[in-house]
Amino acid sequence: MDQIDRQILMQLQNNAAQPVADIARKVGLSVTPCWRRIQRMEETGIIRKRVALLDSKAIGVGMSVFVAVRTDQHNADWLENFAGMVADMPEVVEFYRMSGEVDYLLRVVVPDMAAYDRFYRKLITNVQLTDVSSSFAMEEIKYTTALPLPEADDA
């Protein structure tokens, strides 16, 4: 991945719907080589997918909850069951296995406290957990899906 690829990725992270011709002009390429670079980055998995980012409040799921899960079950079958259950819960938009005191961290988006309570009850009913702790975001200060793009090694 060279500097032009990084510039293309910055453009796509800013607006994936912009025409390839616009991206090509901004990064100093003609359309065909720019399109080939984008296709190569899609084929190699650098670009996982292109999506539309929605305004959570505008669509009625403006409450973000960070759910810390601890368990005494540390085996593959339990994890497969838990991960499968979480995959089927559309409220969970992020799911991580953690190091430290918390085993798993989920980011959940819901319309309100009643919806979170329904989610919570479903979560604790369907899988054996030791502890579930919820933290409610009071204000979103920074949110981005754009990843930092490291500079190329010149060595």
Fold of 3-43: Arc Repressor Mutant, subunit A (1.10.10)
Fold of 63-136: Alpha-Beta Plaits (3.30.70)
Distance of CA 75 to the CA centre of its chain: 25
> What does DSSP assign to residue 39?
H
Residue with tokens 């899906």: 145
As annotated, the residues of the chain forming the CATH 3.30.70.920 domain(s) are 63-136
> What does DSSP assign to residue 4?
H
As annotated, the residues of the chain forming the CATH 1.10.10.10 domain(s) are 3-43
Q: What is the pLDDT of residues 14-67, one digit of tens each?
A: 999 999 999 999 999 999 999 999 999 999 999 999 999 999 999 999 999 999
Give the predicted TM-score (pTM) of the model: 0.88
Amino acid at 35: W
